[in-house]
Amino acid sequence: MPRTPCRWRWRWRLPAGDQSARWPKPHIQWSHVLSGAKVPCQHQLEGQGQVLAEYVRSRRGTGLVYYEGNTYTPNEKLREGQKSRDWKCSMYHKAKCRARLVTRHTRIGDLIHVTSRLHTHPRMYDHLYKSEDKDSRKLFPKLSPHKKESK
């Protein structure tokens, strides 16, 4: 199991419906404790095919989702009480890209569900870097070498 910043505990659990006389092989269930609440950690979510959304700001200040080297722009405005939001690839107009995903708000954060992975362009960014200003929580995508930066 990969090292994580969380504290984890395990417990023995019998499989459901197993009423045999002999002791079955135990199933280990991992329970993660993060900030006092039992919630799944990022590596545990990835094993289930779920990833927490990572938000970045564009140069114009628009909120975007960063996922696997590409950014996604909101498909519609966020309405009050809305639990999920549709996003389309930021290269939707330039490259006619059809890649899309949905973020769903949960108690552990916004989870990503990819609805279409088909990008019509190479990966937009290599990785994220932190800004040097006062707010270090702002992350900005770093351009891939094949993308030319226009000024």
User: Is residue 151 situated within a structural domain?
Assistant: no
How confident is the model at residue 108, as a pLDDT? 86
How confident is the model at residue 124, as a pLDDT? 85
User: Is residue 129 situated within a structural domain?
Assistant: yes
How confident is the model at residue 126, as a pLDDT? 72
How confident is the model at residue 24, as a pLDDT? 41
61 with 41, same domain: the answer is no
42 with 71, same domain: the answer is no
Tokens 């890649």, residue located? 99
User: Is residue 17 situated within a structural domain?
Assistant: yes
Q: Which residues of the chain have pLDDT under 50?
A: 1-4, 7-15, 18-35, 43-44, 47, 134-138, 149-151
The secondary structure element, H or E, covering residue 18 is none
> Which residues contact residue 111 at a Cβ distance below 8 angstroms, ignoring those fewer than 6 apart?
45, 50, 51, 52, 53, 103, 104
36 with 93, same domain: the answer is no
pLDDT tens figures, 126-151: 766 555 554 434 455 555 555 554 44
123 with 136, same domain: the answer is yes
130 with 59, same domain: the answer is yes
104 with 34, same domain: the answer is no
Tokens 């290269």, residue located? 91
Whole domain around residue 127: which residue ranges? 51-143
Taking a C-beta distance cutoff of 8 angstroms, is the pair 87, 63 a contact?
no
62 with 35, same domain: the answer is no
28 with 58, same domain: the answer is no
55 with 76, same domain: the answer is yes
How confident is the model at residue 88, as a pLDDT? 95
Q: How many domains does the chain divide into?
A: 2
